[in-house]
Amino acid sequence: MHIRLRDCATRTYFLVDTTARSVCADLDERGAVRRADRPDAALAERALASASDYAEYFARAVPGTRTPDGKFLVRGPLTQAERAALQAGGDVPTERPALHLHLDFFDPDLDGRITLGENYRAWRGLGFSRFGAAVKALFSALFFGWPAIEIERIGARRHAGTGIFDRQGAIDEACRAPYLAQFDAAGGELSFGQVLDLLERHSAEGIVSRAQFRSLFAVCKRQNGNRDVITKSQFNGLFDGSLLWQAASTPNSAGRRARWLQPASDAA
Amino acid sequence: MRVPAVGAPASGTKSPHIPDADALRAEARRLMEPGGEADFTAARDVLLRALTLESPDHDGKTRHLLGLAFFHLQDWAEAERHLAASLRSAKSPSASALLERAQTNRKTGIERAVDPLPDLRPEELRRPPAGAIRAPETSAEEPPLQRRGSLLIRLAHAVFSRTLGLLTEGAVRAVYALRKRNTTFAFESWDRLGTSLGLLELGGRRRDLNGDKLQSTYVGSLVGHQQPGQRRPAWTERFRTATGAWTTDDPMEGAAGTEIQRSGLPLKDRESRLDAPDLPSPREVSRLILAPHANRPRQEVPFLNLLTIAWIQAQAHDWVSHRPSPVPGARKLALEADDPLRSRYGIGALQVPLSPPNPMKDARPLTYLNEVTHWWDASHIYGSDQETQDRLRCGPDGELRIEGDLLPLNQATGIEDTGFARNWWVGLDLMHTLFVKHHNSVCKRLRQEHKRWTSDEVFHTARLINAAIMAKIQTVEWTPAVLPNRKVVAGMATNWWGLIETWRRPFHKRRLNRRWEPRHHVLGGIAAGSRDNFGKPYGLTEEFAEVYRLHAGIPDEIRMPGQVIPTDATRGAGARSMVREFGMAALLDSFGHQHMPALVNNNYPAFMCEMSVPGQPVVDIGAIDILRARERGVPPYNAFRRMLGLNPIERFEDLGCSAETVAALEKLYGKGDKGLNNLDLLAGTSCELWRPENFGFGETLFTIFIQMASRRLHADPFYTEKLNSRYYTETGMALIGKATFKSVLLEHYPQLARAGLDNVENAFEPWGTSAKERPEEHPLALIEAY
């Protein structure tokens, strides 16, 4: 497993390959790491032990989770392109843009392209019916890239939205602030109607943005015991990439979750 | 410690030391009774000093007090010595009673505070649960594939099931919508209908309870706040795990160490009523409503034997247990001036530890962890953690440790070593021993057919089968025995076999999952059907735990041939002594013949109203039962009914109890709405004697039962989609199909047939008579066709 880690105590970033047992670290805090950036043996061993422990129990490097020992925050996987760049001695940023991290959920092979099939399976994993997932996969492909969505280029192709993701896919905190303030004022959760009102007031929302939020509502409703509310942590999870993983890991009433969370070799 | 100075002996007085000994005794009494914070160690030291001054102890008072001090310090041997000496000096009924209790406690070793269960450590519970379970060794032998039929047949069956299912759902909704709503008790509607319509209305009630009346305490996150994206160990698809984790794809759903859930209102609408004003003392409620009346025999149920209460206690230990608090004395219950405990034990208050708080970081108020698995997996036999499970196993054939009829002894606790050994008494010993033996018997059969299987494969498969046999017995035998009412008997059979099978065939000919049976939880049964947790992660609820406080069903004594043994003496180490002395068969025989006390008001066993438990020499279980509901945010009786969609009572007389009981309720809670709204849940359910025909307990309890008895099966993949020969083997399915409580008893103790077991079809009915001789003791014979 290739995994991005951030030390909870020192905030140092590590890129770890648990299979090759290699560790690189951003000790100079320049926001990027290359293959030559090797930490000392003790530090490397510590990061490797935590990452290996994580790899034993997790199917993917899920952003927002912690290693089982609680020492490191997982900041997502390395894409194929990033792995190649690292191998070639190039720079790999320590943090992926929030939007890309969010979209990695739809790209299980991490090749930077979300195919129709991947898109469909991801929507199914979020609990949508076969028909609903097919419609969502088709429409998102029509709006964001046909036949496959290029993750690196999606920022430019996005239509008017909340503005919380900027053109580079990073989070614009100024845009997000009024939403969070509203959550705080309402005791941590808002009804779907209240969120739609907020959208109307604070964003140049279009039909796509509205449809995306309706999908979010459906995901949150299932997680919240069929209540029409969204919590602040779920709203934040939408932007840091953790909400979709949380939703896909929540089984349906038959006790089943997304099949692709189970690696083929581990199937019963 | 303040000890009065002992003056020099005054010359010329009749007994120069007596005034000083009196002063010391007075000081000791003062130390022992200051409203709950008694210092018995100091009192003991003072009295020992008095004893050196006053020799001999003419009237035995010092010795009596010393015996009392040692009793409170749980030094039973010393208590016995001093009390016996006191009685040699002077007769005293209270000293005599205390001596008897000290003797019993010494024999049962009840003071031993070694916890039989491991700690629940938050840091461990936060880790991925796969790390706390051991993968079994498996052989190359593949489990058999399920025969699925052709695609066309499956499609036709799906359409057939769906159509009939929709029609049934429609009928359930319609009958429920047309129910009588203006009756105080809902059963006044369904119990007056015919069996089919009554069943449909009960189905509607269950549907309603599975909707917005199921509350998850983990809303918005995975159970146990586990992290998303974890990989499920493949073997957990085939077997149950020691901790209950990974039974479904939600890693900790139903696992030990997760929060007990809620029925009715969500957590945010709950509050603790520990400090609510105007509530009577739990001890007073216990004295007036739960404790038995002096000089009146306890009521017994004509149609149930003692195995019934032992069975349900063992099952309850499988499902839910709050961890006992390590901090005693957190709550003081002051005793009234006329409380007999004052004079009997020289105390002014009872001390009740509060429930230990949820140790998890960021835990919400009024959430409590279940220390056992929520699943119906026989964790009381197999344990709820890997270490315990491994310790209980032996040999290459998946067997559990047992020698003859004796379970292994846990040297640390001094009692039998088993999955759940709290509250141990001989009734639990019988149930655990029987099903450990049955596990081993299942292992032998599996081993004959699967010679290449590893010990782990045999063990885990036998566990699946053994647990399913218990689930079946509870569903189609225990419950119908306790509630021998036509609709309930048919309803429980429907839960297991389905309505069609229940209608068409007599009890012994019914089978699970026949080929053309519709796959619908009413028509085809919950068992072997589709899994459904109704969108809320499975877990037993606090409300379930509260209404299952069935202590009234525990007897005061076990009647053995030629002698009567106090139940108190069968607790702790006393259980093993009983099994050694009488043997399993004789004990089962006695339990099968003796009637179970009724679950009604003023019917708690007397010994439980002043019982000793580790760390506490005197507790009143009734008072604790009342206090727990208040503490854990379980609403009082009327509010409890409202939150389940039942109508509240409008006056105490609605409960159907005697005028004497109504007067006691009014004295405790006051008259009018205020009194009604303060009525504690257990006080209300105990007094709820206006019940459907032949009901062993009342409607309020029954409503939670409707929700949970079905949910335990419905939410468990091993009782729904995996209850088939792929997971259980053909042998296992046949064993489950044939199993009844009677057949399990006879397999291991065939001599019970002649002892009376042959008189009955349902082994929870009294064995001493047959349906022909005493129909009132066998109401099931008129309802169920065998």
Distance (Å, whole) CA B388 – CA B244:
13
Strand-pairing partners, residue A113, are A150
Distance of CA A120 to the CA centre of its chain: 17
Distance (Å, whole) CA B202 – CA B487:
8
Q: Do A254 and B229 touch (CB under 8 A)?
A: no
Contact (CB, 8 A) for B631 and B355:
yes
Q: Strand, coil or helix: what is B562?
A: coil
Q: Do B220 and A263 touch (CB under 8 A)?
A: no
Strand-pairing partners, residue B558, are B565
Residues of B in contact with A66 (CB under 8 A): 227
Side chain identity at B739, as an amino acid letter?
Answer: A
For chain A, give the mean pLDDT: 85
Check if A245 contacts B (Cβ < 8 Å): yes
Neighbours of B122 (CB within 10 A): 15
Mean pLDDT of all residues in A89-110:
90
pLDDT value of position A266: 40
Residues of A in contact with B717 (CB under 8 A): 255
Chain segment A216-259, per-residue pLDDT in tens: 888 888 888 788 889 888 888 888 778 899 999 988 877 788 77
Distance (Å, whole) CA B470 – CA B311:
10
pLDDT value of position A158: 56
The full 3-state SS of B577-618, as one line of letters, equals: HHHHHHCHHHHHHHHHHCEEECCCCCCCCHHHHHEEECCEEE
Distance (Å, whole) CA B210 – CA B536:
9
Residues B381, B386, B390, B391, Cα dihedral to 10°: -70
Chain segment B372-405, per-residue pLDDT in tens: 999 999 999 999 999 999 999 998 999 999 998 9
Distance (Å, whole) CA B780 – CA B543:
29
What residues contact residue B603 under an 8 Å CB cut-off, 6+ apart? B290, B292, B298, B299, B552, B597, B686
pLDDT value of position B10: 38
Residue B149 Cα distances to B152, B157, B423, B511, B521, angstroms: 8, 10, 50, 19, 21
Scored b (16 or more CB within 10 A) or e, B517-541 reads: bbbbbbbbbbbbbbbbbbbbbbbbb
Does pLDDT of B13 surpass 50? no
pLDDT value of position A79: 93
The DSSP annotation for A135-184 comes to: HHHHHHHHHH-SSSEEGGGHHHH--S--SSB-TTS-B-HHHHHHHHHHHH
Contact (CB, 8 A) for A99 and A155:
yes
Place of tokens 């130390």: B31
The DSSP annotation for B486-543 comes to: HHHHHHHHHHHH-HHHHHHS-GGG--SS-TT--SSTTTT-STTS----TTS----BHH
Does pLDDT of B6 surpass 50? no
Contact (CB, 8 A) for B719 and B713:
yes
Residue B232 Cα, gap to closest chain A Cα (Å): 7
Residue B141 Cα distances to A257, B452, B453, angstroms: 28, 7, 7
Strand order in the sheet with A72-77: A22-25, A13-17, A2-7, A72-77
Check if A224 contacts B (Cβ < 8 Å): yes
The DSSP annotation for B65-132 comes to: HHHHHHHHTT-HHHHHHHHHHHHHHS--HHHHHHHHHHHHHHHHTTT----SS----HHHHHS-GGGG
Residue A124 Cα distances to A128, A228, A249, B669, angstroms: 5, 20, 12, 55
Chain segment A154-172, per-residue pLDDT in tens: 766 555 566 777 777 788 8
Contact (CB, 8 A) for B452 and B140:
yes
Chain segment B689-725, per-residue pLDDT in tens: 999 988 999 999 999 999 999 999 999 999 999 999 9
Quick one: pLDDT band at residue B16, thresholds 50, 70, 90? very low
Residues of B in contact with A65 (CB under 8 A): 227-229
Of A225, A233, A251, the CB nearest to B249: A251
What residues contact residue B152 under an 8 Å CB cut-off, 6+ apart? none
Contact (CB, 8 A) for B364 and B221:
no
Distance (Å, whole) CA B612 – CA B82:
19
Q: Do A251 and B221 touch (CB under 8 A)?
A: no
Q: Do B250 and A251 touch (CB under 8 A)?
A: yes
Does pLDDT of B674 surpass 60? yes
Does pLDDT of B3 surpass 80? no
Of B451, B524, B503, B447, the residue nearest B157 (C-alpha): B524
pLDDT value of position B55: 60
Does pLDDT of A113 surpass 80? yes
Chain segment A201-217, per-residue pLDDT in tens: 776 656 656 777 788 88
pLDDT value of position B52: 82
Quick one: pLDDT band at residue B329, thresholds 50, 70, 90? low
Q: Do B215 and A225 touch (CB under 8 A)?
A: yes
Provide the number of CB pairs (under 8 Å) joining chain A to chain B.
103
pLDDT value of position A93: 93
Does pLDDT of B774 surpass 90? yes
Mean pLDDT of all residues in B738-744:
98
- Residue B399 is encoded by which pair of tokens? 């067997």
What's the residue count for chain B? Answer: 786
The DSSP annotation for B220-279 comes to: TS-GGGPPTTBPPPGGGGTS--SS-TTSSSSTTTT-TTSB-BEESS-GGG----TT-TTP
Quick one: pLDDT band at residue A264, thresholds 50, 70, 90? very low
Chain segment B206-222, per-residue pLDDT in tens: 999 999 899 999 988 89
For chain B, give the mean pLDDT: 92
Of B475, B510, B512, the residue nearest B492 (C-alpha): B475
Quick one: pLDDT band at residue B730, thresholds 50, 70, 90? very high
The one-character DSSP state at B299 is P
pLDDT value of position B17: 45
Does pLDDT of B37 surpass 80? no
Q: Do A59 and B231 touch (CB under 8 A)?
A: yes
Check if A261 contacts B (Cβ < 8 Å): yes
Mean pLDDT of all residues in A88-110:
90
Does pLDDT of B433 surpass 70? yes
Does pLDDT of B413 surpass 60? yes
Residue B717 Cα, gap to closest chain A Cα (Å): 8
Quick one: pLDDT band at residue B5, thresholds 50, 70, 90? very low
Contact (CB, 8 A) for B352 and B105:
no
Contact (CB, 8 A) for A62 and B227:
yes
Distance (Å, whole) CA A17 – CA A3:
7
Scored b (16 or more CB within 10 A) or e, A108-127 reads: bebebbbbbebbbbbbbbbb
Does pLDDT of B358 surpass 50? yes
Residue A233 Cα, gap to closest chain B Cα (Å): 9
CA-angle at B778, arms to B775 and B779, nearest 5°:
85
Residues of A in contact with B228 (CB under 8 A): 62, 65, 242, 245-246, 248-250
Residue B248 Cα, gap to closest chain A Cα (Å): 5
Judged by average pLDDT, the poorest of B110-119, B416-425, B645-654, B740-749 is B110-119
Residues of B in contact with A251 (CB under 8 A): 248-250, 253
